[in-house]
Each structure stands twice: as C-alpha cells, then as structure tokens.
Amino acid sequence: MSQPLHAVDLFGAYGDETVLSGVDLLANPGEPVGVVGENGVGKSTLLRLVAGVEEASSGFVQRPGDLGYLAQELAAPPGASVAAVLADALAPLHTAVCRLEQLAHQLDDPGAADAYADTLLWAQSHDAWDADRRALLASQRLGISHIDPSRPVSQLSGGERTRLAMAAVIARRPECVVLDEPTNHLDDDAVAFLEDFLRELPGVVLVASHDRVFLDRVCAVIVDLDAAHFGVDGQGGNRYSGGFTAYLAHKAAARRRWERAFAEQQEELNELRVAAKTTARQVAHNRPPRDGDKYLYHFKGGNVQATIRRRVRDAEHRIEVIERDSIPKPPEPLSFSQPLTAKDRLGRGCVVVSLRDVSVPGRLCLDRLDVSAGQHLLVTGANGSGKSTLLQLVSGRLEPASGLVRTSARRIGMLPQEVGFVRPRRTPQEVYDAALPDGPVPLSDLGLLHPRELSRPVGVLSTGQQRRLALAILIAGRADLLLLDEPTNHISLALASELENALDRSPGALMVASHDRWLRRRWDGPTYHLQRTRPA
C-alpha cells in the first residue's frame, strides 16, 4: 500500500520573494487531489517542492519513495533521445523482473527469500511484466508513436515533449504521480487515456490543472491555494471534497459569506462613526437651564456629560477593535475589461478569411474554408490535424506549399500556444509599452495582471501570467481578426471562464483552436473539424 503524500507548513521563496507561505497538503492513495488557484499563486512551486525537485525554505514533506513528476516542460539530459527517455523510465521495472529471476534460484537462503518477497510485491504493484506493452500503448494513445525513437528530445515541439514525459510516467506506473498541467497539448483521446490511468492508479495522485472537465472526472478532492481569501468565517479552508463541481459551489458560497460579512462590518463601522460624532449633540445639546431648575441642571448635567463621554468612548473603542481586526474587502476578480477585438469595418457577411486547396505537407491539407466578418469559428481536431498550422497560415507566419490563403482584415492578432519574450528582464509594463508605444489603453486598465506584477521582470512570471500579458497586448492592439491557439492553456479557472464570456462579446472575427472540452461544450457558434493528414 502506497504511503500518503503529506506536506506541513511549507514556505517557498525565490530570492527575497515568498511564493508559498505556510501551505499544508495531504494526498491519500486512491483519492486524487487537484490543485487550483490564480496564476502566480504558487501551484507549480508547490508541486516542485512536494516532488523534491526543489527544497522548501521551511516546512516538512513526507512523500512516497517511488514518485513520478511531470513538469509543464520536459527537462531531458542534453542529447537524450526519445528512446532513451522511455528506456530510463522502464529501467527500474526491467531491473525488478531480472532481480526476481535471479532470486528465484536462491529461495533456500532466508535472506534471498525475503528479498524475493519484497521485490515481487514491488513488481506486482507496478505491473512490471506489462511495462513494455504499456509504454507502446501510451505512445500510441498520446500521439507520439510516429516519432523516430532516435530523434533528440531537443528537436521535439513543446507538446511532443510533454506527451513523451507523460508516456514515461504512465509506463513506469509509480506509487505517486505529481502532474503539472498534464492535459495541455492533449487531444480528446489522449486525455481520456490519461484519465483512465489516473482513476485506476491505486497510489497517490496530485495534479495542478486548469482543465475543468478533467478535474471533474479525476479528482475527489480540490485544494485551492486562493481559498484563504474566502475563509473569513472559518468555513472556507483550502480543501474541498466532492470534486470540481462541488468545489465551485463551495467557493461561490464562501465568496457570498465574505461579501456579506464585509458589508455588515462596514455598516457597523459607519453607524459607530456617526454615533461617536453626534452623541454629544443629541443629548441636551446647547439647551440653557430654565430659571427654576439651575441647581438640578448642574447636578444632573454632570451625569449627562459623563454618559455622553462613556458612549463616545465605547463607540471609539469598538471602532478601534473592528479596524484592528477588519475583514478585507473582497478583491475584484481579474477579468477582460475591454473587448477582445475591434468593431467590424466590413459589413456582416463579407469574407475576411478565405483558403482554397491549401497544403502544407505532413501538417495540413484543406480544400476550402471561409470566415465572415464578425464570425466566431471554433477549430477542433486531434493532435497533428493541423490546427496550429491553420492559424499560422491565416496570420501570415507560414506560407503554404500550394493553394491560396487570403485575408482582408486590416489588423490580425495571434496568440500562439508557446508565449515567450525576448527580453525577460523587462517588466510587463515595459514590454507592453514597447509593443504598443501609442497604446490606447493603459495596461493596468485591462484587468489581466495584478498591479504588483507590473514591475516584476517578465522572466520570473509564471507561464499563466506571461500568457495574460500576451493577451493584454493583443487586446490593446485592437485587431479585427483574432487568432487564438489553445487560449485557456495555463490560465486560471476563473479567467478561463471570463475569457469564454469575452469571446461571446467580441464584435470582430475570431478563429479559436482548442482542446478545452469545457469551452467546446458551451460554444454556440460554427465549428470546423480538421482531420489528421496522412503521411505521404
């Protein structure tokens, strides 16, 4: 039986910046845990710390001895081949099978018999005899079986590297798996395969993901690294049982409690401040004594004034207590405060994108596609079907080997899957100003980055924060044709939902390529499905 993964009071920092502060985590075998939270809150840092890839500044981590970690980017040794990565993953299982065969001839020795029993238990829990078949199946289902095994990992795309690393984890079948955004770059068949593997794994599963359908199908527990902001009444915490849908209901209720508690406290403060200012004027204020009660006035007046002072003092003390333990104002969620596109300059029905008999050998073969002004088109298809290639053709970043690509858009904006900035020491504000020297909208007004992130180097921002910056530049660029390649990858769950709403409100033409099943379920516009191009 696998041991739980347990972290207590973890602190993580990079230089002088604290990323995680006092985080607790428990992941039990057979109870998959999903980690969620805003971009930059420390999800990837938490996974690296509990996996032992990095050391925590302080705190305690107890982890199973056999742990498989999947980062967002595969870090393979220089020059390592595809075959070498898979062979390295399978080596412990092959070794265990060979060890069993050797020990089987020494069972008369009590020490050898004990070693045989321990090795057999380990091999059985890892299904070691099925490892080679499992590796082949994983390669096929994850869409990398066509890659030459001798090909260097450095020559693979980001998506291919991620799928290779995942195939290695699945083939190895460790007691504990820690996965960072595992569904990025996966099509429906590959995600279904991963979900089946994780649900059937008897050990510990810990996953950070933005994929809402995946979280619903796999995870029994959700840990929200933002949840401390929702626990003002002691009912929030950061651990939610019942899966992602139940977590959404819990979080919405916690937000309502927070808003209600804040409003009630502000109302009490206002009443106390009014009372402290007006009490003295409300009790016998400036009333002169009458001729017959001067003595009584002075005798009782002292008591009245003492009562007034006590009431004022009590009100001021209560104000001081409330302000010392004040409930913070619920922050406004980051959102798209501007339309994603400019208004159409062409009339509705006018063709803004036209492709005829387009071919990119090995990547895309397309007979005909038209996109009208103001139309929102969802492009779907399995990995390798050419979704990214299609967007690159329309953007002008790629020329077809044959065929015709025409666009009548005045300004085209594109968000690629891989976002990078050539000057990582620049701040988001500097990058934004360089990209849009006459930008009509200040970066801070777009609502995509927190004010504290505007002065940090781009290179230290999380992948999701960098993607938000790229989106901000696109939105401010006021394109009338926007091309989005997997736009919900790496961004927080809350922002993904807001992005979907912003897509609905955008007046210009949109082409969106996405594997996101949640987005696709609620898409009510036209869909264009690409088929994988067969090798020549």
pLDDT class of 227 with cuts at 50, 70, 90: low
pLDDT tens digits, one per residue of 55-76: 888 899 999 989 999 988 777 6
What does the pLDDT read at residue 160? 86
| Most confident stretch, 193-207, 214-228, 348-362, 420-434 | 193-207
pLDDT tens digits, one per residue of 233-287: 444 448 888 888 888 888 888 889 989 999 999 998 888 888 878 865 555 455 5
Cβ-based burial of 489 (10 A; exposed 0-12, middle 13-18, buried ≥19): buried
For the sheet with 527-529, list strands across it. 412-415, 481-485, 509-513, 376-380, 527-529
What does the pLDDT read at residue 281? 57
pLDDT class of 289 with cuts at 50, 70, 90: low
Check: CB of residue 37 under 8 Å from CB of residue 239: no
Q: What is the mean pLDDT of residues 202-210?
A: 93
What mean pLDDT is reported for the chain?
85
What does the pLDDT read at residue 100? 92
pLDDT class of 462 with cuts at 50, 70, 90: confident
Q: What is the mean pLDDT of residues 128-133?
A: 93
pLDDT class of 6 with cuts at 50, 70, 90: very high
The Cα–Cα gap between 400 and 403 comes to 7
Query: Is pLDDT above 90 for 29?
Result: yes
CA proximity to 353, closest of 408, 390, 415, 403: 408
Those residues whose C-beta lies under 8 Å from the C-beta of residue 419, and which sit 6 or more positions away, are 463, 466, 467, 469, 470
Query: Is pLDDT above 80 for 459?
Result: yes
What does the pLDDT read at residue 233? 43
CATH number of 351-529: 3.40.50.300
Beta strand segments in 408-507, E: 412-415, 481-485
What does the pLDDT read at residue 353? 94
Check: CB of residue 29 under 8 Å from CB of residue 174: no
Supply 77's token pair: 């040794």
Check: CB of residue 172 under 8 Å from CB of residue 90: yes
> What SS3 state is found at 395?
helix
What does the pLDDT read at residue 536? 42
Query: Is pLDDT above 60 for 297?
Result: no
Q: What are φ and ψ of residue 482, in 5° steps?
A: -115, 130
Strands 221-224 and 412-415: what pairing? unpaired
> HSE of 323 in the Cβ direction (CA atoms, 13 Å)?
10
pLDDT tens digits, one per residue of 333-377: 666 667 788 876 666 668 999 999 999 998 899 999 999 988 999
Any idea which residue has 């993607």 for tokens? 467
Query: Is pLDDT above 50 for 229?
Result: no
Asked, colleague to colleague, whether 5-244 and 351-529 share their fold, the answer is yes
Supply 474's token pair: 């696109």
Supply 297's token pair: 């006035």
> What SS3 state is found at 503?
helix
What does the pLDDT read at residue 173? 93
- Per-domain boundaries in the chain: 5-244, 252-324, 351-529
Check: CB of residue 371 under 8 Å from CB of residue 463: no
Query: What is the percentage of the chain residues whose pLDDT exceeds 70?
Result: 89
Query: Is pLDDT above 80 for 293?
Result: no
Of residues 383 and 469, the one with the higher pLDDT is 469
CATH architecture of residue range(s) 5-244: 3-Layer(aba) Sandwich (3.40)
Query: Is pLDDT above 50 for 231?
Result: no
What does the pLDDT read at residue 357? 95
Query: Is pLDDT above 70 for 26?
Result: yes
The Cα–Cα gap between 454 and 469 comes to 10
pTM assigned to the model: 0.75
pLDDT tens digits, one per residue of 34-53: 999 887 788 989 999 999 99
Query: Is pLDDT above 70 for 301?
Result: no
Check: CB of residue 36 under 8 Å from CB of residue 223: yes
Q: What is the mean pLDDT of residues 208-235?
A: 76
* Maximum alpha-carbon separation in the chain: 120
What does the pLDDT read at residue 319? 85
Query: Is pLDDT above 60 for 517?
Result: yes
